[in-house]
């Protein structure tokens, strides 16, 4: 079988980590008798430099007809002063819109070998393995707003949180299907004691729970969830929540793992899905060949499972990452004395060796 994947390197360490992930995926997908045809396209700062805009139509068109998109990260100090209308981040928002990516999936799992990197006590993190399902194209980030107007104490600004039933239903479907492939538990997070939009959110969640009796549902307020994530993160399987709450909780989830460079993500929806590590372009270490490629490699494993019909490749990559960490290989960001310090190339070679 042949699959077409668009690779968007992006900026900073983007090219280093995406090329590492491509080598790993190319080897792993042979297990599923798949060959990948890669096409490189530009977005972010690199696209601003080449085309004068962060997301050229040619990139959008290529992504729309591909089986998947693998992205490094975009942005950096070089473009901090550009016209706000063409900032690199516009590329991400534009891709979400063009591809109908209404859902972000962020698995948070703590590899045994890295348990002591978590800021939480070891006994709290040994069972951590959850996914945050964040609504991505609705809510307050896309609602009406009023920029600050008026004078003095009366100066005012507002942002509106809106959710439609169809937006909640489809994100709940993703959460339920994800839970069915995992431990079968969904925690729906809202602020239904205060917000009308959250009361609709909870009502729809409860309807979906009734219609799916094999999935265990519970309902938490977002403030309680923020506490539970540090008090007892092992209780969660699938957390489903709004755009705003998901943005905040997914960063909290990331820090629970203690290793930013390892966390993957997938954005899925009505069109081609997009896979990227959760970290940024790390301009402070770009070009040195020392970036941790594992977040991108694990994103590529998600891509194999969800978009390329390559479940064996996905499992092999995830197992290789676990084994390589257990064997003591560490890039600089997760290095501790006594471990085997490797650069991006060394880590990639180690993963390739462990993919049997
Ligand atoms: P960042 O995630 O790029 O870096 C934070 C710290 O973590 C830095 O010290 C960096 O060296 C380190 N780090 C991140 N990824 C690493 C890796 N794979 N290996 C080793 N160390 C790693 O976040 P920051 O500094 O806030 O943002 C830098 C740029 O990235 C900004 O322009 C920002 O807008 C952009 N960004 C882009 C995102 C995206 O494309 N989705 C997401 C987040 C930030
Ligand atoms: Mg964020």
pLDDT in tens, 333-353: 999 999 999 999 999 999 999
For the segment 314-336, the average pLDDT, to the nearest whole number, is: 97
> Which fold is adopted by the domain 119-257?
Isopropylmalate Dehydrogenase (3.40.718)
Domain map (residue ranges) of the chain: 1-110+258-356, 119-257
pLDDT at 116 over 90: no
Backbone angles phi, psi at 117, to 5 degrees: -85, -15
On the question of a common fold for 1-110+258-356 and 119-257, the answer reads yes
Which residue's CA is the nearest one to ligand 1's atom 11? 282
Q: What is the predicted pLDDT for the residue at 260?
A: 87
* CA 310 to ligand 1 centroid distance, Å: 29
What ligand has the least distance to the C-alpha of 79? 1
Ligand 1 atom closest to Cα of residue 279: 2
| Closest listed residue to residue 272, CA positions, set 10, 4, 89 | 4
Residues near ligand 1 with C-beta < 6 Å? Answer: 13, 17, 73-76, 92, 260-261, 276, 279-285, 291-292, 295, 333
Nearby residues for ligand 2 (ion, Cβ within 5 Å): 247
Whole-number Å distance between alpha carbons of 336 and 258: 13
What ligand has the least distance to the C-alpha of 246? 2
For the segment 225-233, the average pLDDT, to the nearest whole number, is: 97
The whole model's pTM is what? 0.94
* CA 323 to ligand 2 centroid distance, Å: 30
Q: What is the predicted pLDDT for the residue at 247?
A: 94
Whole-number Å distance between alpha carbons of 318 and 323: 9
Domain 1-110+258-356, classified CATH 3.40.718.10, yes or no: yes
What ligand has the least distance to the C-alpha of 93? 1
> What are the tens digits of pLDDT across the range 170-213?
999 999 999 999 999 999 999 999 999 999 999 999 999 999 99
Q: What is the predicted pLDDT for the residue at 356?
A: 81
3 state SS of 14: helix
* CA 141 to ligand 2 centroid distance, Å: 12
Backbone angles phi, psi at 304, to 5 degrees: -60, -45
Ligand 1 atom closest to Cα of residue 79: 32
Could you give the residue numbers annotated as active site?
Answer: 141, 191, 223, 247, 251
Backbone angles phi, psi at 274, to 5 degrees: -125, 135
pLDDT at 280 over 90: yes
* CA 282 to ligand 1 centroid distance, Å: 4
Which of the listed residues 11, 281, 298, 330 should we mutate to test ligand 1's pocket, taking the one with most ligand atoms within 8 A of CB? 281
Q: Residue 309 has which token pair? A: 């019909």
pLDDT at 259 over 90: no
Whole-number Å distance between alpha carbons of 242 and 254: 17
Half-sphere exposure of 44 (CA within 13 A, CB side): 23
Mean residue pLDDT across the chain: 96
* CA 260 to ligand 2 centroid distance, Å: 13
Q: How many helices and strands in the chain, by DSSP H and E?
A: 12, 14
Which residue's CA is the nearest one to ligand 1's atom 1? 280
């Amino acid at each position: 079988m042949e699959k077409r994947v668009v690779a968007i390197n992006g900026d900073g360490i983007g090219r280093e980590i995406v090329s590492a992930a491509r080598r790993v995926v190319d080897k792993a997908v042979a297990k599923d008798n798949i060959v990948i045809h890669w096409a490189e396209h530009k977005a972010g700062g690199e696209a601003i430099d080449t085309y004068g805009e962060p997301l050229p139509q040619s990139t959008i068109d290529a992504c729309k007809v591909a089986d998947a998109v693998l992205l490094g990260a975009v942005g950096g100090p070089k473009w901090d002063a550009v016209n706000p209308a063409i900032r690199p981040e516009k590329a991400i928002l534009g891709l979400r819109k063009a591809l109908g990516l209404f859902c972000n999936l962020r698995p948070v799992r703590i590899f045994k070998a890295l348990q002591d990197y978590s800021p939480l006590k070891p006994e709290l993190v040994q069972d951590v393995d959850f996914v945050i399902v964040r609504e991505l194209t609705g809510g307050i980030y896309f609602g009406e707003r009023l920029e600050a107007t008026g004078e003095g104490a009366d100066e005012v600004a507002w942002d509106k949180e809106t959710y439609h039933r169809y937006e909640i239903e489809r994100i709940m479907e993703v959460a339920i299907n994800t839970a069915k492939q995992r431990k079968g538990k969904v925690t729906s997070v809202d602020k239904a004691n205060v917000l009308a939009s959250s009361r609709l959110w909870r009502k729809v969640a409860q309807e979906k729970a009734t219609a799916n009796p094999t999935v265990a549902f519970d309902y938490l307020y977002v403030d309680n969830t923020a506490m539970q994530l540090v008090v007892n993160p092992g209780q969660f399987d699938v957390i489903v929540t709004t755009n705003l709450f998901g943005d905040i909780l997914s960063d909290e989830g990331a820090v629970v793992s203690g290793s930013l460079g390892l966390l993957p993500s997938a954005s899925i929806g009505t069109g081609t899905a997009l896979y990227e590590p959760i970290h940024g372009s790390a301009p402070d270490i770009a070009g040195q060949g020392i970036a941790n490629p594992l977040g991108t490699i694990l994103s590529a494993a998600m891509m194999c499972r969800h978009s390329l019909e390559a479940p064996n490749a996905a499992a092999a990559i995830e197992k290789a990452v676990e084994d390589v960490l257990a064997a003591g290989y560490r890039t600089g960001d997760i290095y501790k004395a006594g471990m085997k310090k490797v650069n991006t190339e060394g880590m990639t070679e180690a993963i390739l060796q462990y993919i049997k």
